[in-house]
Amino acid sequence: MTSWTSDNLTQFLNQVHLNQKANVAKFAEPYRLIRRVNECLSIAGENLVNPKPVMTGVLFQRSQYAYKTAAGMALAGQVVETFVMLRSCLEYAGYALAIFNEPDLQVVFMSRHVSDDGMKAQKEKFRMSEIRQVISSFDAKLAELFQLFYERSIDFGGHPNPHATMSAAQIGHEGSDNTIITYALSLEPKVLSHAMKSVAQIGLTALFIFQHIFKAKFELLGINAEMNALRNENL
């Protein structure tokens, strides 16, 4: 019989916090890179003043918060859910660059829920194929990286996929080939390392997209130099 008085959620959240603390120590080098990317995002976010168009600043902050959430999930062992947030991190960055490139798209973006025509226009203008073309017009190599990491985010959690479904699962447990056990929190080192490295790589990719919007500010704040240092560390 189900006990409605047991607080499974609090137990889960407590374990999330314990895993995060343990993995910060266990995966010190991946965490160092995640933290450095986060510092770039945080410093930029704290110094956004009157961004033009205004939605570029809003979308920057949303991308930053998606990154922080992905970092927390990866450290907790929520490896599948990590990639849901990483997809969001990239999409916010791509949308921001599209609006920066064509400021009138700010109105299209905000009109999504105004009418059926508004919904259709927003979907058409912000398709990923359109976003990739915009990024490519600024930096072809960056567009390739965006595509690579966007597909990775979909394959490992952004959509229901075999990689996502099975990256935190065990097949044939206790002698039964028909048994599949799915885990909320992975303890597998290779899977955790993949998630953590992806967090840093995708966060850095988002930063390079935003660099085209906030170039002068990134240079003034020393963010460009740190981004280049991170890129040279094979991120």
Rounded to whole angstroms, the Cα distance separating 165 from 160 reads 7
pLDDT at 5 (0 to 100): 61
CA distance 204 to 209: 9
Rounded CA Rg of the chain = 19
Residue 41, both tokens: 């995002």
The per-residue pLDDT for 228 is 96
Query: Residue 8 and residue 90: Cα distance in Å, rounded?
Result: 33
30/234 Cα distance (integer angstroms): 12
Give the per-residue pLDDT at 41. 98
Per-residue pLDDT tens listing for the chain (235 residues): 556 667 899 999 999 999 999 999 999 999 999 999 999 999 999 999 999 999 999 999 999 999 999 999 999 999 999 999 999 999 999 999 999 999 999 999 999 999 999 999 999 999 999 999 999 999 999 999 999 999 999 999 999 989 888 888 887 655 556 788 899 999 999 999 999 999 999 999 999 999 999 999 999 999 999 999 999 987 6
- Domain coordinates in residue numbering, the chain: 40-232
CA distance 67 to 171: 31
Q: What is the pTM of this model?
A: 0.94
**How many Å separate Cα 119 from the centre of its chain?**
25
Q: Are 55 and 109 in contact (CB under 8 A)?
A: yes
Residue 175's pLDDT is 58
